[in-house]
């Protein structure tokens, strides 16, 4: 329920409009006034100033309201009506009303451009979601009739069901995002694929096989299998502990057949179309053939034995190990990889004689790890294991084929600052540093600073924190741009910190209230992507040495930041010092009370 002053003002504004014979967009007026109260903390419409009006249009409204570019004239007209009402009724002086009207004129082009930009991004995002939902239902986007039928059925669903399906799809998409990686150049990857023992073994098998008769199951005869094993040096089974794997030739055979390096049909074998591609001097052609071979090996589609044995079980589950290595920024020790695999196996399979079987699984895992190292997919790094550059590229290609979003470091170099900041949200520190370096190298420092400052004006706390961090990587050549942005309330403290850090003459120390606001903004930004406990721990690590946190939280509740109560509640729940936590809980109550106002309602 809106606060009393909002409802009272809307009612007065409606009557005033009727007296002047003008139509009023009452819902639009209520939205603007409600934002001014709830998001900006205004105690009444008379507290609207040109600076606050600009903040309302360029920050609060775009963050809170879904609007299209066609809505811009209506929004501006409603705001002009509110200003005219304030001036004529004496709620503000004539000069103040004129100043507000002038600010609407100044801000209108920027507001229109901002809404148009957000509208385009939202429409594109919505189209991608709808397209994803359709594809998940098996609808081809090229079949216009099927697309139109699906949209009609979707729009006919109750609103809560449409919302639930969309939310479910977005959660699934978020789970299908892996961390960014750095890819090696294509020539380097192709050379690694050529040198791989896997490539050499499969090509040798195809050349040895040539054209010959097969069994009724399209496999080599027993005599040919023995001869092929001897020719390829596979006559001695791989061993580890209690495990002996004599199926290496069979595995290579079926992978070669699936990847079309060898054809095997109706009891006849011959060279497949991929054999020449696997020998190709063209890097892209070779890598395409290699990927098919790699896919056939790490995602096995053939049963190597009757029933599930330890070797086959591990080969079926090894993709999880590869994905784990892909997502890690540091090498992982084999025992940690094995522990995760065994845990998954115990949860997923009903194993008889569990102790003995799990021991065999452990041995089979080490055999498979050795094979992946031999093929050039995994490498030893100290005591740990990591993917090779060829392994990173190959696993990424398979992830993308399965619908994962798999960003590459450097692909944001030409992006806008808003896109960079949105992309960096899920980056680790090392990957973020590389991405930021590439982005800064591709942009003029002054332009980069201006774009980052725009993000800080219009984004939330998390975006503002990241943009400020990137801004600090830009040198003093951007000082003029930063100085010009100091008047904006959301930018001013960050601009002061930057100017001070770069030694600019206009630099200054933050006032106490600004320092507190930045602290709240920082923690609120962390809480957008981390749970409150993690955010508090990170904030305490960054706090100045010797800071009196108990005294600080006692002051925080007066900070004019919309997230202050949430931050104080997080500090109250997770600060390790009991006295500080208690002070934070008390301050959080005061902050909530202040936000409710005299009427007692938010």
Higher pLDDT: 380 or 348? It is 380
Region 500-521: mean pLDDT is 90
Please tell me the predicted confidence (pLDDT) of residue 198: 95
Region 88-105: mean pLDDT is 93
Give counts: helices (H), strands (E), the chain.
Answer: 29, 7
Q: Which helix (H) or strand (E) holds 225?
A: helix 222-232
Please tell me the predicted confidence (pLDDT) of residue 601: 35
**pLDDT tens for residues 287-330?**
999 999 999 998 765 454 455 678 888 888 888 899 999 999 89
Indicate the SS3 state at residue 180: coil
Please tell me the predicted confidence (pLDDT) of residue 518: 92
SS3 string of 261-316?
CEEEECCEEEECCHHHHHCCCCHHHHHHHHHHHHHHHHCCCCCCCCCCCHHHHHHH
Please tell me the predicted confidence (pLDDT) of residue 373: 94
**pLDDT tens for residues 133-146?**
887 788 888 788 88
What is the spatial distance between Cα 380 and Cα 373, in angstroms, rounded to a whole number? 8
Please tell me the predicted confidence (pLDDT) of residue 304: 43
Lowest mean pLDDT among 73-87, 266-280, 351-365, 459-473: 351-365
> What's the whole-number average pLDDT of the chain?
87
DSSP annotation of 46: G
**pLDDT tens for residues 551-575?**
888 888 888 888 899 999 999 999 9
Q: What pLDDT band is residue 124 in, cutting at 50, 70 and 90?
A: low
Region 446-475: mean pLDDT is 92
Please tell me the predicted confidence (pLDDT) of residue 258: 93
Closest CA relative to residue 425, chosen from 184, 174, 62: 174
Task: Decide if pLDDT at 98 tops 90.
Answer: yes
Q: What pLDDT band is residue 116 in, cutting at 50, 70 and 90?
A: confident
Q: Are 384 and 331 in contact (CB under 8 A)?
A: yes
Buried b (16+ CB within 10 A) or exposed e, 3-39: bebbeebbeebeebbeeeeeebeeebbbbbbbbbbbb
The backbone torsions φ and ψ at residue 328, rounded to the nearest 5 degrees and listed phi first, read: -90, 140
Please tell me the predicted confidence (pLDDT) of residue 550: 82
CA 179 to chain centre: 8
Please tell me the predicted confidence (pLDDT) of residue 235: 83
Tokens in use for 527? Answer: 């809480």
What is the spatial distance between Cα 276 and Cα 285, in angstroms, rounded to a whole number? 9
Q: How far from 357 is each of 170, 335, 340, CA to CA, in Å? A: 39, 17, 16
Higher pLDDT: 10 or 2? It is 10
Closest CA relative to residue 255, chosen from 221, 289, 282: 289
Burial of residue 138, with CB atoms counted within 10 A of its CB: 0-12 exposed, 13-18 middle, 19 or more buried: exposed
Please tell me the predicted confidence (pLDDT) of residue 305: 47
Please tell me the predicted confidence (pLDDT) of residue 353: 58
Region 394-404: mean pLDDT is 91
Q: What pLDDT band is residue 150 in, cutting at 50, 70 and 90?
A: confident
Please tell me the predicted confidence (pLDDT) of residue 395: 95
* Entry pTM: 0.66
Task: Decide if pLDDT at 171 tops 80.
Answer: no
The owner of tokens 């501006």 is 76
Q: What pLDDT band is residue 501 in, cutting at 50, 70 and 90?
A: very high
Task: Decide if pLDDT at 352 tops 70.
Answer: no
**pLDDT tens for residues 250-275?**
999 999 999 999 999 999 999 999 99
Higher pLDDT: 204 or 156? It is 204
Residues 6+ apart with CB under 8 A from 51: 487, 489
Region 192-200: mean pLDDT is 96
Please tell me the predicted confidence (pLDDT) of residue 322: 93
Task: Decide if pLDDT at 2 tops 90.
Answer: no
Please tell me the predicted confidence (pLDDT) of residue 74: 92
What is the spatial distance between Cα 477 and Cα 260, in angstroms, rounded to a whole number? 58
Strand residue runs (E) in 81-221: 212-213
Region 511-533: mean pLDDT is 90
Please tell me the predicted confidence (pLDDT) of residue 354: 58
Tokens in use for 61? Answer: 């409204």
Task: Decide if pLDDT at 596 tops 70.
Answer: no
Q: What pLDDT band is residue 65 in, cutting at 50, 70 and 90?
A: confident
**pLDDT tens for residues 26-44?**
888 999 998 998 888 888 9
């Amino acid at each position: 329920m809106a606060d009393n002053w909002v409802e009272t003002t809307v009612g007065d504004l409606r009557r005033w409009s009727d007296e002047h014979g003008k139509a009023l967009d009452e819902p639009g007026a209520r939205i603007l006034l409600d934002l001014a109260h709830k998001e900006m903390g205004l105690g009444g419409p008379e507290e609207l100033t040109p600076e606050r009006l600009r903040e309302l249009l360029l920050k609060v409204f775009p963050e809170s309201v879904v609007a299209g570019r066609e809505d811009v004239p209506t929004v501006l007209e409603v705001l002009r009506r509110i200003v005219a009402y304030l001036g004529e009724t004496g709620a503000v002086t004539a000069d103040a009303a004129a100043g507000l009207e002038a600010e609407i004129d100044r801000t209108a082009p920027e507001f229109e451009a901002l809404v148009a930009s957000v509208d385009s991004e939202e429409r594109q995002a919505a189209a991608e979601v709808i397209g994803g939902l359709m594809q998940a239902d098996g609808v081809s986007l090229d079949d216009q009739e099927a697309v139109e039928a699906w949209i009609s059925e979707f729009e006919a669903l109750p609103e809560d069901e449409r919302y639930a399906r969309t939310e479910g799809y977005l959660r699934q998409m978020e789970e299908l995002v892996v961390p960014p990686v750095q890819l090696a150049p294509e020539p380097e990857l192709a050379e690694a694929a050529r040198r791989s023992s896997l490539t050499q073994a499969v090509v040798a098998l195809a050349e040895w096989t040539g054209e010959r008769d097969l069994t009724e199951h399209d496999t080599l005869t027993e005599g040919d299998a023995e001869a092929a094993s001897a020719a390829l040096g596979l006559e001695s089974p791989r061993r580890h502990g209690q495990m002996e794997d004599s199926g290496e030739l069979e595995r290579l055979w079926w992978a070669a057949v699936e990847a079309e390096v060898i054809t095997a049909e109706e009891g006849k074998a011959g060279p497949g179309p991929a054999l020449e591609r696997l020998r190709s001097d063209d890097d892209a052609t070779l890598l395409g053939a290699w990927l098919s071979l790699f896919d056939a090996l790490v995602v096995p589609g053939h049963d190597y034995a009757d029933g599930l044995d330890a070797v086959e079980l591990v080969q079926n589950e090894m993709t999880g190990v590869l994905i784990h290595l892909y997502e890690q920024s540091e090498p992982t020790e084999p025992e940690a990889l094995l522990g995760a695999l065994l845990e998954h196996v115990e949860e997923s399979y009903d194993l008889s004689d569990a102790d003995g079987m799990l021991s065999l699984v452990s041995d089979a895992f080490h055999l498979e790890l050795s094979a992946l190292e031999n093929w050039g997919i995994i490498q030893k790094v100290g005591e740990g294991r990591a993917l090779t550059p060829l392994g990173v590229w190959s696993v990424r290609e398979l992830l993308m084929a399965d619908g994962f979003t798999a960003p590459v470091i450097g692909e944001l170099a030409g992006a806008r600052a808003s896109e960079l900041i949105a992309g960096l949200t899920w980056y680790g520190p090392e990957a973020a540093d590389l991405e930021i370096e590439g982005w800064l190298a591709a942009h003029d420092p002054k332009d980069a600073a201006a774009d980052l400052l725009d993000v800080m004006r219009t984004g939330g706390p998390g975006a503002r924190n990241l943009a400020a961090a990137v801004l600090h990587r830009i040198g003093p050549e951007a000082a003029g741009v930063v100085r010009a942005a100091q008047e904006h309330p959301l930018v001013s403290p960050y601009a002061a910190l930057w100017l001070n850090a770069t030694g600019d003459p206009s630099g200054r120390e933050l006032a106490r209230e600004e320092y507190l606001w930045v602290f709240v903004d920082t923690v609120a930004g962390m809480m957008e992507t981390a749970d409150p406990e993690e955010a508090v721990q990170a904030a305490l690590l960054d706090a100045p040495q010797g800071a009196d946190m108990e005294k600080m939280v006692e002051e925080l509740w007066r900070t004019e930041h919309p997230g202050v109560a949430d931050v104080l509640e997080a500090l109250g729940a997770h600060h390790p010092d009991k006295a500080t936590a208690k002070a934070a809980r008390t301050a959080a109550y005061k902050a909530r009370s202040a936000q409710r106002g005299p009427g007692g309602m938010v």
